[in-house]
Structure 1
Amino acid sequence: MDSTSPIIYVVEPYGGSIRRHNSALPLIYWDDAAVTRGDGIFETLLIRDGHPANLQRHLDRFRASARLMELPEPIVEDWITATREAVSEWSQRSDEDATCVWTYTRGRASTGRPSAWLTLTPVSDTVLRQRRKGVKVMTSPRGFSIDTSLPGVEEATEGGSPRPAPWLTVGAKTLNYAANMAALRYARSRGLDDVIYLDPGTGRVLEGATSTVITVRAGGKLRTPVSGGDILPGTTQAALFDYAETHGWRCKAKEMTVERLLDADSVWLVSSVRVAVRVTEIDGVKLPAPDNEDEVRELINAALGAE
């Protein structure tokens, strides 16, 4: 089989079959809420060395997202089984990294039954290039703001309350990524690779379009913006901080501005599949490569394998 052909497994949300799906055949119905409303959740996992990296944190966030979206509780064992079957199949094709995406939707309007599946595909050439060469970014307001005083917001974004303000999906990793993708297209039309969002009122650094911002500072310090309210907690950042603290790094979430990005030793965007890409330019200002670039990269890669 072609090594680039997707591996797809359907997961029955209420239990039952976990079945391999032929990628050449249709899977989603015309009235599925994923298509008509973007109503659903997803998680993206890195497959490396024959196993899903950072699995427990992804499971925790997946379950929290389902609760926030009032979807039936995912049957964790079934998602793990489907993932491991897909990974086993991938491992027979290649020993390279792969991308695994779990998708869980409200389902068909005509049946009221949720839909769920996972796909496993090769890591894209764009991601591989960005890992090697880094990214040039622009900063921008996100275009909307979140009132963090609304009831349940802080608890929701930290995975605490299962019943936040019912009109909010903040804290859930939803399928509605149209604005993020539009921001990336705009950046690329300007010869850039990515966007770092800022709070328009304070200039506070929030997050990347699909990533968490990390800075490395002298004295073995790692910093990231404070999550909660208007920043989705990152699974890769959490794994990094837990691992780095046991290896002598001082890790802390702190509010930061663009100035604090520019005076850092290095700035990184971390996410599940890109893992770690160094920011080489912010708003036209070039950032020199730090002396410890390889050390930081190895630290983040090691953190994802420390399970």
Structure 2
Amino acid sequence: MVSTKPVIFVVEPFGGSIRWHNPSLPLIYWDDYAVTRGDGIFESILIRDGQAANIERHAQRFRTSAEALGLPEPIIESWISATNAAIEEFGDGEGKCTWTYSRGRASTGLPTAWVAIQPIADDVLAQRDNGVRVMLSERGWSFPSELPAKTLNYAATMATLRLARDRGFDDVIFTDPYEGHVLEGATSTVVTVKGDKLRTPYDDTILPGTTQAALFEYAESQGYRCKQKVLDVDYLLDADSVWLVSSIRVAARVRRLGEHKLKAPDNEQEIRSLIDTAMSAN
């Protein structure tokens, strides 16, 4: 039985204790920096058949993000304990688990931290099956390359996504405003397939993708040649297929890129299986 309501566990960031929180009651105060500044970090983790997928990579990126923002080092064992407790209450099946770690209240200076699991949205599941129409957009902001972090401040990204949807697209791929090369999706990593070659864009402003890393590790064991590479839009158009990979949606094939319709490759199911198995193997 899968819960239809969110399951929330609060994590005490210093002592490491955890406690269940009623999802019908408030959790965040008015002066929490997560609300007033978007000052904090998060990780989205796929829950599948009672397990948190790719958890070690998520935990490492969570540590890196906390260090980048000068947050107290997270006690990962507590976050995993909270995740396991939430999974037990959530039940079997797929869910979206989010670790959220805010700088906390301005009035106390104490961080706020919690784990939540909720059912995966229907539109996300539909994009897995049907693919996505993607708008190209220059990205006019970036986090310092020496301090990669998955931060809560997604306002500009969400605004671009709303614009894309107003124009009939499902998602966005950002490009560098100066060189024009491909960067990443709004909430995903770009992966191309051409023969036995898997490529993902290289740029020092791109946040490393946990799903892409799991995919490349597994794909290489299956005989694929995987590499980060500076990619332009023409490279995407010339590929056999283009995918947006991420923790919760897992894999969505790009079926339209700007005004260009991308045909489904003959090996679409093979690539889907490759990505799906990579998530289960890590």
TM bucket (normalised to shorter chain) is over 0.9
Distance 1:114 1:178, change over 3 A: same
Q: Secondary structure at the match of 2:219?
A: helix
Q: Give, as a single letter, the amino acid of the residue that structure 2 aligns with 1:286.
A: K
Choose which of 141, 149, 152 in structure 2 pairs with 1:144: 141
Q: Distance in 2 between matches of 1:97 and 1:42?
A: 19
Secondary structure of the structure 1 residue equivalent to 2:34: helix
Partner deviation per Cα, 1:183-204 (whole Å, 9 max, x = no partner): 1100000111001001121110
Distance 2:43 2:200 in 1: 21
The question of whether the paired residues in 2 share the 8 Å contact of 1:227 and 1:233 is answered with: no
TM-score (norm 1): 0.89
- Determine the C-alpha separation between the residues in 2 that align with 1:63 and 1:285: 39
SS at match of 1:174: coil
* Seq. identity, %: 63
For structure 1, the residue ranges without an aligned partner over 5 or more in a row are 147-152, 157-170
Task: Give the root-mean-square deviation of aligned CA atoms.
Answer: 1.3
- Separation (CA, whole Å) in 2 of partners of 1:10 and 1:131: 31
State the one-letter code of the partner of 2:236.
L
Give the secondary structure class of the aligned counterpart of 1:206. strand
Give the aligned partner of residue 132 of structure 1: 129
> Per the alignment, in what secondary structure is the counterpart of residue 79 of structure 1?
helix
Alignment correspondent of 1:274? 249
- After superposition, give the CA deviation of every residue in 1:96-155 in whole Å (9 maximum; x if it has no partner): 210000000111111111000011000001100000000000101012356xxxxxx554
For 1:96 and 1:248, the matched residues in 2 are separated by 31
Q: Where in structure 2 are the equivalents of 1:218-297 lying within 5 Å?
A: 218=195, 220-228=196-204, 230-297=205-272
Aligned length: 282
Instruction: Name which of 170, 174, 182 aligns with 1:197.
Output: 174
| 1-structure distance, mates of 2:54, 2:236 | 27
Distance 1:155 1:185 in 2: 29
Amino acid at match of 1:205: V
Find the aligned partners of 1:4 and 1:198 in 2 and give their Cα distance. 38
- TM-superposed CA distance for 1:90, in Å, is 1.3
Say yes or no: does 1:98 pair with 2:74: no
Partners of 2:221 and 2:234 lie apart in 1 by: 29
1:3 Cα deviation after fit? 2.9
- Cα deviation, residue 255, structure 1: 0.6
In structure 2, runs of 5+ residues without a counterpart are: none
**Distance (whole Å) between structure 1 residues aligned to residue 96 and residue 82 of structure 2:** 14
**What's the CA shift for 1:69?**
0.5
On the 8 A contact 2:32/2:106 being kept in 1, the answer is yes
Matched, 1:84 2:84: yes
1:224: Cα distance to partner? 0.3
Q: Which amino acid in 1 is paired with 2:206?
A: I
Question: What whole-Å deviation, never above 9, does each CA across 1:207-245 have from its counterpart, x for those lacking one?
Answer: 001100000002x110000142x1111000000001110
How does the TM-score come out when normalised to structure 2?
A: 0.97
Note closer, same or farther for the CA distance 1:266–1:246 as it changes in structure 2 (3 Å cut).
same
Q: d(CA) in 1 for partners of 2:18 and 2:93?
A: 25
Partner Cα separation in structure 1 for residue 15 and residue 203 of structure 2: 34
Give the counterpart letter for 1:282 in structure 2: L
- How far apart, CA to CA, are the structure 1 residues paired with 2:117 and 2:142? 34
The residue that corresponds to 1:56 in the other structure is 56
Q: 1:183 aligns with which of 160, 183, 186?
A: 160
The answer to whether the 8 Å contact 1:15/1:78 transfers is no
Provide the secondary structure at the position in 1 that maps to 2:67: helix
The correspondence for 1:214, drawn from 191, 200, 208, is 191
Query: What corresponds to 1:159 in structure 2?
Result: none
Contact 1:136 1:279 survives alignment (8 Å): yes
